[in-house]
């Protein structure tokens, strides 16, 4: 049943699509906001999945590429049980979504069911039960076969195959195994290894325990069935697609094998009725893993994994730092490519990142760079799949200052001619004391106060985007002259401070919301060196090794690495907070 928790922005939202036990739901609800909505149609799932950080499924709900595409906030998909064929793993990997399951949880249950089917085949138990219920005493014709000394061929020696072997040995059976690839651990097992042909020819019972993949699809077909003994039995509790059902039915009808026991089918629940109704076939409705113990263990396993994932992703419990995909990091201003090249070379040589860029997370899951555009551009230039960033938000006191540009080392007349000749802007001469008010009243891009006293309001020409016009203006004078940034708006003082000043460009005081809206909605960037974000609690001297960031390890693993690194620094007293303002002098 649905469990409702008070809304908390720091708690992940998790959708349970296929029912799990109420105690496990309550266990998860202690750490997350949980909704249990079962029997959703595909369209219903697409509609609500953007609201969730994770989802839990069993073997019913299919997590297609379309579902993953709509899961804008999905960070994890959990499969309660074993087998991930209902989840599009390629699509999940592209979106860097963690996929977890619980393959160990139902291994014993499936192995026990396999042994139950094996015993039922050997001793003809279903037919014996049916004859008794029909009022017959068929003792003389229901003669079975013993297991002591018989050979069991196990195809696939993973968790379930090993559990089957343990139980079969207790019956005195000889075990032979076909496993591809052969692992060092397998060589330590007390089993005989065989290729598939030899295993099929030697075994009295063959049981399948391989995952359904391209290479295992129909791996047991007419050719393989023809290799089995006429007295042999086949058991499949793996996946229906690993066995050619038509070939199996033909082999049983023609008495080329003794019989089969099936728990899985190519199409479920639309199964091959002729096959399952055959008197020498024992059929169960995909229940090998369905015990209360196994279901509970599987659900607990994936819930514990989800709790761990979200605890480790949430590194802001120590500092607001996170490892994020670089393709989701977007700048708000243009960059100086020369500075990017220099920093990229230094990062390659040093292999360390000192000060992380500062970003703000947007509603669509991207990260807009507030400070550190050069660093993020260097990361991309070096091919980093991920980068470490500091997260900031307006709620935490984020502010914004606007720089003014002091243009120097160019003749005033030459500078005016340069600006007046630009195609995207027009200059309107105004009185100096009215320039600020007019810029606000007429939404001017900026105004320019020349050293000779003339003042011009700058407008974008009709039909020209404002950011395009502003970028053309700043690019022109940055290329032609030397530019310094200042917060001083007193022209007299600036002339004394900059004797070679030709002009000062005064920009409007932008807000954080204006910068975000302009950049994200249009895809255009502000000119470099206009905005200066004021970030409380700026994190400096992180000094982390960039090797992990460059690696192909998954995002969640890198965040776990960062989390433990910060814990280690905290434990050594290596994180200090200074509340007072600081002046930094260039070395």
CATH number of the domain that 341 lies in? 3.90.1530.10
Q: Which of 417, 545, 551, 558 is nearest to 481 (CA)?
A: 417
437 located within any domain:
yes
How many domains does the chain fold into? 4
In whole angstroms, what is the distance from residue 568 CA to residue 463 CA?
A: 56
Residues 419 and 393 in one domain: no
Q: What is the CATH number of the domain that holds 199?
A: 3.40.50.720
Quick check: is 239 catalytic? yes
What is this structure's pTM? 0.51
Residues 138 and 193 in one domain: yes
579 located within any domain:
no
The phi, psi pair for 162, rounded to 5°, reads -65, -40
Residues 556 and 417 in one domain: no
Residues 113 and 243 in one domain: yes
Rg for the chain, CA atoms, rounded: 35
Quick check: is 286 catalytic? yes
In whole angstroms, what is the distance from residue 50 CA to residue 95 CA?
A: 14
Distances in whole angstroms, Cα of residue 444 to Cα of each of 1, 435, 438, 508, 527? 58, 10, 8, 8, 16
> Are the C-beta atoms of residues 125 and 145 closer than 8 Å to each other?
no
In whole angstroms, what is the distance from residue 142 CA to residue 120 CA?
A: 12
The three-state DSSP-derived secondary structure of 526-549 is ECCCCEEEECCCCCCCCCEECHHH
Residues 341 and 458 in one domain: no
586 located within any domain:
no
* pLDDT tens across the length of the chain (587 residues): 333 333 334 578 999 999 998 899 999 998 889 999 999 999 999 999 999 999 999 888 999 999 999 998 899 999 998 778 889 999 999 888 999 988 778 889 999 999 999 999 999 999 999 999 999 999 988 999 999 999 999 999 988 999 999 999 999 999 999 988 776 556 556 678 999 999 999 999 999 999 898 999 999 999 999 999 999 999 999 999 999 999 999 999 999 999 999 999 999 889 999 999 999 999 999 999 888 888 888 899 899 888 878 865 544 446 888 899 998 898 888 777 888 899 999 998 999 998 999 998 887 778 888 888 889 999 999 999 999 999 887 766 677 788 999 999 999 999 999 999 999 999 999 999 999 999 988 889 999 999 999 999 999 999 998 889 999 999 999 999 999 999 999 999 999 999 999 999 999 988 877 777 777 666 778 887 888 777 778 888 888 899 999 998 877 778 878 877 887 887 777 787 766 666 666 54
Q: Which residues, including other chains, have CB under 8 Å from residue 115's CB and lie 6 or more apart?
A: 164, 167, 168
Quick check: is 563 catalytic? no
270 located within any domain:
yes
Q: Which residues, including other chains, have CB under 8 Å from residue 523's CB and lie 6 or more apart?
A: none
Residues 253 and 369 in one domain: no
163 located within any domain:
yes
Within a 10 A sphere around the Cβ of 386, how many other Cβ atoms?
25
Two tokens at 216? 């295992």
Residues 451 and 336 in one domain: no
Q: Which of 402, 404, 407, 403 is nearest to 483 (CA)?
A: 407
Active-site entry in 22, 268, 396, 497: 268
User: Which pLDDT belongs to residue 11?
Assistant: 75
248 located within any domain:
yes
Q: How does DSSP classify residue 278?
A: S
Query: Helix-strand-coil percent breakdown of the chain, rounded to 5?
Result: 40, 20, 40
- Calculate the CA dihedral of residues 127, 121, 260, 212 and round it to 10 degrees: 130
Domain that holds residue 359: 316-399+536-571
Question: How, if at all, do strands 367-371 and 386-391 pair?
Answer: unpaired
Q: Which of 496, 415, 419 is nearest to 457 (CA)?
A: 419
User: Which pLDDT belongs to residue 313?
Assistant: 58
Two tokens at 84? 């991930």
In whole angstroms, what is the distance from residue 307 CA to residue 582 CA?
A: 39
In whole angstroms, what is the distance from residue 121 CA to residue 282 CA?
A: 7
Active-site entry in 113, 162, 239, 386: 239
In whole angstroms, what is the distance from residue 291 CA to residue 312 CA?
A: 32
Residues 34 and 126 in one domain: no
User: Which pLDDT belongs to residue 507?
Assistant: 94
Residues 386 and 410 in one domain: no
Q: How does DSSP classify residue 576?
A: -
Active-site entry in 217, 280, 286, 466: 286
In whole angstroms, what is the distance from residue 457 CA to residue 431 CA?
A: 9
The phi, psi pair for 531, rounded to 5°, reads -95, 145
């Amino acid at each position: 049943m649905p469990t409702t928790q008070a809304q908390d922005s720091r708690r992940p939202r998790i959708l349970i699509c296929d029912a799990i036990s109420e105690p496990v739901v309550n266990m998860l609800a202690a750490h997350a906001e949980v909704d249990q909505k079962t029997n959703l149609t595909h369209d219903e799932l697409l509609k609500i999945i953007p609201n969730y950080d994770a989802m839990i499924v069993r073997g019913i709900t299919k997590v297609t590429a379309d579902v993953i595409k709509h899961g804008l906030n999905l960070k994890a998909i959990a499969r309660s049980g074993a087998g991930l064929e209902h989840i599009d793993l390629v699509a999940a990997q592209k979106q860097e979504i963690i996929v977890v399951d619980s393959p160990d949880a139902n291994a014993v249950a499936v192995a026990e069911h396999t042994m139950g089917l094996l015993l039922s085949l050997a001793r003809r138990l279903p037919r014996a039960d049916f004859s008794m219920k029909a009022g017959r005493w068929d003792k003389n014709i229901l003669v079975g076969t013993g297991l002591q000394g018989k050979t069991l061929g196990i195809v696939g020696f993973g968790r379930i195959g090993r559990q089957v072997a343990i139980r079969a040995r207790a019956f005195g059976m000889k075990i032979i195994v076909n496993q591809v690839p052969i692992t060092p651990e397998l060589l330590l097992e007390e089993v005989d290894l065989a290729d598939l042909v030899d295993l099929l020819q030697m075994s009295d019972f063959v049981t399948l325990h391989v995952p359904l993949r391209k290479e295992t699809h129909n791996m047991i077909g007419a050719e393989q069935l023809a290799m089995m003994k006429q007295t042999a039995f086949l058991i499949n509790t793996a996946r229906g697609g690993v066995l050619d059902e038509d070939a199996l039915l033909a082999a049983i009808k023609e008495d080329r094998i003794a019989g089969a026991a099936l728990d899985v089918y190519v199409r479920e629940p639309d199964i091959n009725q002729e096959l399952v109704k055959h008197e020498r076939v024992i059929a169960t409705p995909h229940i090998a893993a369905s015990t209360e113990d196994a279901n509970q263990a599987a659900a607990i396993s994936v819930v514990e994994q989800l709790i761990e994932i979200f605890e480790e992703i949430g590194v802001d419990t120590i500092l607001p730092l996170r490892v994020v995909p670089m393709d989701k990091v977007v700048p708000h201003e243009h960059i100086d490519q020369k500075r990017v090249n220099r920093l990229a070379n230094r990062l390659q040589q040093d292999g360390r990142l000192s000060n992380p860029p500062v970003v703000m997370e947007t509603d669509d899951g991207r990260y807009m760079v507030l400070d550190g555009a050069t660093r993020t551009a260097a990361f991309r230039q070096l091919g980093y799949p991920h980068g470490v960033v500091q997260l900031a938000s307006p709620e935490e006191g984020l502010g914004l200052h606007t720089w003014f540009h002091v243009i120097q080392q160019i003749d005033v007349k030459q500078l005016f001619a340069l600006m007046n000749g630009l195609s995207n802007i027009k200059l309107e001469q105004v009185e100096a004391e009215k320039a600020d008010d007019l810029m606000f009243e007429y939404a001017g891009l900026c105004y320019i106060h020349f050293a000779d006293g003339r003042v011009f309001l700058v407008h974008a020409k009709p039909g020209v985007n404002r950011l395009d016009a502003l970028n053309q203006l700043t690019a022109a004078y940055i290329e032609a002259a030397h530019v310094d940034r200042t917060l001083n708006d007193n022209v007299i003082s600036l002339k004394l401070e900059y004797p070679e000043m030709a002009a000062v460009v005064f920009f409007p005081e932008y807000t954080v919301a204006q910068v975000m809206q302009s950049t994200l909605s249009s895809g255009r960037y502000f000119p470099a060196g206009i905005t200066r974000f004021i970030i409380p609690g700026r994190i400096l001297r992180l000094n982390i090794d960039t090797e992990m960031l460059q690696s192909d390890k998954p995002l969640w693993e890198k965040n776990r690495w960062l989390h433990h690194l910060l814990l280690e620094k905290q434990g050594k007293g290596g994180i200090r907070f200074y509340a007072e303002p600081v002046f930094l002098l260039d070395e």
